[in-house]
Amino acid sequence: MYQQKEFNKLMLYVFALIGVTISVFPFYWMFTASTLQESQIFKVPPTLVPSSNFADNLARLQDSWPIWRALFNSLLVSGITTVSTVFFSALAGYAFAKYTFKGREPLFYSVLLIMMVPTQIMLVPMFIIMMNLDWMDSYLALIIPFLVTPFGVFLMRQQMISFPNELIESAKMDGCRDFGIFFRIVLPTMKPACAALAIVTFMQQWGNFIWPLVVVSSKEMYTLPLLLSMMVQPGQIVQYGTVMVGSVIGLLPMLILFLVFQKHFVSGVFGGSVKG
Amino acid sequence: MSRTNAFALLKSKGKKSTKNKSVFNISPYLFVAPFFLIFSVFMLYPVIYSLVLSFSEWRAGETTFVGLANYRQLFGDSIFWQSLRTTGLILIVQVPVMLVLATAMASVLNSDMLKARGLFRLGFFLPALIDLVTYALVFSLIFNEGYGLINQGLSLLGIGAVPWFSDGTWAKILIIIAVTWRWTGYNAIIILSGLQTIPKELYESASIDGAGTLTSFFKITIPLLKPVLLFCGILSTIGTLQLFAEPFVLTSGGPRGETNTVILYIYEKAFSSFNFGLASAGAYVVTTIIAILAYFQIRLSRGGEV
């Protein structure tokens, strides 16, 4: 009996360690390869420990690709869309949760419907709209269509529906107007929900690939994923050392965000979705 | 206290909402206005416009109604069918394999015997942080046919190099491996949250009744996890049907179009040949497939004991 239990425990650890190794190794190899020379990356047998070539790879990357501009673009686009999505979703979500007004039901159903439709369906019409507005290859095209998300409104409504009505009523009696109630009483209690939505939105925008691929044509407007994908387009000599430096630069902001907001991360990625 | 406020308070006792019927209130409209402006221009309108486009021919800004011609052309295109088959094949293999692995992972993370569970959870979750293009790049390096780590390792074991990119079947397997790596930990964390809601007493009384670990896993854990597993199944199905970045970056749809997914097909029709009508028709077909699959999966979950 005792031996059986020890064996189970051993198997458990073996499984967990194999799983973690598989999960983490690509990250290790990405960081390591970014410090290696091209010849070291593809050596037989492979060089598995970091070397000192990171600065060299970075210099070569900077020379041929606008990597810092792409980092700036990604931060700008993700930052603005995240702040705006959280704010406007909270506003709209509050209205859907705490007011009855004419047209509320059809409006909310349209939000639910669009939330379930795959975004690729909008790709071609959006492309035509961008051409007609003359927004192609600009920040406007990258930012404006993503200022709000149906998911954000849905999440905020679900969170705010349980906010006690008594608090809103007593604030009204104290002479607080609708906007005052929202900003001073409701919004401050919604910080965890806002943080969760902010993380989900930022992550989505950070990884947004197909849209920049469609609307961006000049190198100065590249976002990070787009720039990285252009580095390996067919017909080019791929230099993996520099590509991995770019990958590290793209990953670091997410890692930092995760380490700072770890708690909100898990509740954000899953809280909104698993509740139902 | 003003009369309207007293009235509102009275009403709110009976109703959930704090609405005051006697006075028209503009505030809720102001609250939703910014959202709805963007929403209707960049989401609602494009979805409808896309449907119109799928029945039209678009040329230099002019749309002409062509009836079902786009759909006819789409269903007559063998490349479309191939992309549909490829996507379906990846879906059928990848989603079940991943859910089994994720359930196993979640059970390990939920076990009392495991120390440093937080650290293991962090490790498992890490792949969910990386964006799709970046991880596809890392995988293209690791699985490089000539000198990638995987093929070097396989040669050491005497198996020999695997044609990950030049053979259609292996290229599909490569995409399945990559997608599974990216999403298993994510699903494991969702399943873990489901596991943690199962009361420990159930297992205790089962073990008193003489049930072994495996028996209670299949008789208690799996049935109680069903809603969570179905939720993961639906999310993964939707995600796999929209597969784009991985085949685009990793295999460019190759070799010979054998890893061409439906979204890649639509993308190429739209932005390489600028056949907007055909691309829109394709997008609506994919949306319909997603809707049908999601409907059946939800019905399946309602039909179960839960």
Cβ A266 vs Cβ B109: under 8 Å? no
* Contact state of B283 with A88 under an 8 Å Cβ cutoff: no
A67-98 helix and A191-207 helix, angle to the nearest 10 degrees: 140
Q: Which residues of A touch B100 (CB under 8 A)?
A: none
Q: Which residues of B touch A117 (CB under 8 A)?
A: 47, 287
The amino acid sitting at B117 is: R
**Partner residue facing B12 (CB), from A165, A203, A226:** A165
Interface contact B186, partner A, CB < 8 A: yes
* Contact state of A101 with B19 under an 8 Å Cβ cutoff: yes
Do strands B62-65 and B56-59 pair parallel, antiparallel, or not at all (unpaired)?
A: antiparallel
With a cut of 60, say whether residue B247 has pLDDT above it: yes
Dist CA B215 CA B210 (whole Å): 9
From first to last of its 276 residues, chain A has per-residue pLDDT tens of 567 778 888 889 999 999 999 999 999 999 999 999 988 888 878 888 898 889 999 999 999 999 999 999 999 999 999 999 999 999 999 999 999 999 999 999 999 999 888 888 999 999 999 999 999 999 999 999 999 999 999 999 988 988 899 889 888 888 888 889 999 989 998 988 898 899 889 999 999 999 999 999 999 999 999 999 999 887 778 889 999 999 999 999 999 988 888 777 766 555 444 333
In this structure, how many other beta carbons lie within 10 angstroms of the beta carbon of residue B242?
A: 18
Question: Domain boundaries in chain A?
Answer: 66-274
Dist CA B189 CA A258 (whole Å): 15
Question: B178: closest CA among A22, A228, A242?
Answer: A22
Cβ B38 vs Cβ A148: under 8 Å? yes
* Contact state of B138 with A274 under an 8 Å Cβ cutoff: no
Q: Where are the alpha helices (DSSP H) in B61-116?
A: 69-75, 78-110
Higher pLDDT, B261 or B204: B261
Instruction: Give the minimum alpha-carbon distance from B213 to chain A in angstroms, rounded to a whole number.
Output: 10
CA-based end-to-end distance of chain B: 50
Q: Which of A73-77, B207-211, B266-270, B299-303 has the lowest mean pLDDT?
A: B299-303
* Contact state of B141 with A41 under an 8 Å Cβ cutoff: yes
Cβ A231 vs Cβ A238: under 8 Å? yes
Give the pLDDT confidence score for residue A56 in this predicted structure: 92
Q: If DSSP codes are grouped into helix, strand and coil, which group holds residue A265? A: helix
Interface test with A, best of B45, B133, B149 (most A CBs within 10 A): B133
Residues B110-130 have pLDDT tens digits of 988 888 888 898 899 999 999
CA-based end-to-end distance of chain A: 42
- Residue found under tokens 């009361």: B199
On average, the pLDDT of chain B sits at 87
Q: Which residues of B touch A23 (CB under 8 A)?
A: 123-124, 126-127, 181, 185
- Residue found under tokens 């999310």: B235
Cβ A254 vs Cβ B130: under 8 Å? yes
Helix (H), strand (E), coil (C) string for B11-71: HHHHCCCCCCCCCCCCHHHHHHHHHHHHHHHHHHHHHHHHHHHHCEEEECCEEEECCCHHH
Dist CA A78 CA A146 (whole Å): 9
Dist CA B283 CA B50 (whole Å): 8
Exposed / middle / buried, residue B140 (Cβ in 10 Å: 0-12, 13-18, 19+): buried
Q: Which residues of B touch A166 (CB under 8 A)?
A: 12
- Residue found under tokens 């490349």: B79
Percentage of residues in chain A with pLDDT exceeding 90?
A: 63
Residues A177-202 have pLDDT tens digits of 888 999 998 999 898 889 889 988 99
CA B26, A95, A76 angle in degrees (round to 5)?
A: 105
Question: Domain boundaries in chain B?
Answer: 22-70, 72-303
Percentage of residues in chain B with pLDDT exceeding 90?
A: 58
Dist CA A260 CA A274 (whole Å): 23
Dist CA A120 CA B87 (whole Å): 15
Dist CA A241 CA B145 (whole Å): 17
Q: Which residues of B touch A19 (CB under 8 A)?
A: 105, 108, 120, 123-124
ipTM for the predicted complex comes to 0.89
Dist CA A227 CA A33 (whole Å): 19
Higher pLDDT, A262 or B104: B104
Cβ B213 vs Cβ A9: under 8 Å? no
Exposed / middle / buried, residue B303 (Cβ in 10 Å: 0-12, 13-18, 19+): exposed
Cα–Cα distances in angstroms (integers) from residue A204 to residues A149, A152, A182, A248, in the given order: 11, 12, 27, 18
Dist CA A114 CA B28 (whole Å): 21
Tokens read off for B177: 């491996």
Instruction: Give the minimum alpha-carbon distance from A118 to chain B in angstroms, rounded to a whole number.
Output: 6
Q: Which residues of B touch A162 (CB under 8 A)?
A: none
Q: Which residues of B touch A108 (CB under 8 A)?
A: none
Average pLDDT over residues B62-86: 94
Tokens read off for B202: 């159930």
With a cut of 90, say whether residue B135 has pLDDT above it: yes
Question: B177: closest CA among B211, B151, B154, B143?
Answer: B143
Architecture of domain A66-274: Orthogonal Bundle (1.10)
* Contact state of A173 with B43 under an 8 Å Cβ cutoff: no
**Partner residue facing B18 (CB), from A126, A169, A226:** A169
> To which CATH superfamily is domain B72-303 assigned?
MetI-like (1.10.3720.10)
Give the pLDDT confidence score for residue B1 in this predicted structure: 36
pLDDT confidence bin for B97, thresholds 50/70/90: very high
pLDDT confidence bin for B9, thresholds 50/70/90: very low
Residues B145-195 have pLDDT tens digits of 888 899 999 988 888 889 999 999 999 999 999 999 999 999 998 899 889
Average pLDDT over residues B134-151: 92
With a cut of 70, say whether residue B259 has pLDDT above it: yes
Interface contact B233, partner A, CB < 8 A: no
Residue B147 φ then ψ, to 5°: -130, 20
Cβ B32 vs Cβ A143: under 8 Å? no
* Contact state of A273 with B231 under an 8 Å Cβ cutoff: yes
What is the CA B167 to chain-centroid distance, rounded?
26
Interface contact B147, partner A, CB < 8 A: yes
* Contact state of B186 with A269 under an 8 Å Cβ cutoff: yes
Cβ A78 vs Cβ A149: under 8 Å? no
Interface contact B231, partner A, CB < 8 A: yes
**Partner residue facing A91 (CB), from B35, B49, B245:** B35
Q: If DSSP codes are grouped into helix, strand and coil, which group holds residue A135? A: coil
Residues 67-106 of B with CB under 8 A from A: 104-105
Give the pLDDT confidence score for residue B14 in this predicted structure: 43
Instruction: Give the minimum alpha-carbon distance from A247 to chain B in angstroms, rounded to a whole number.
Output: 6
Interface test with A, best of B5, B32, B51, B236 (most A CBs within 10 A): B32
* Contact state of B31 with A173 under an 8 Å Cβ cutoff: no
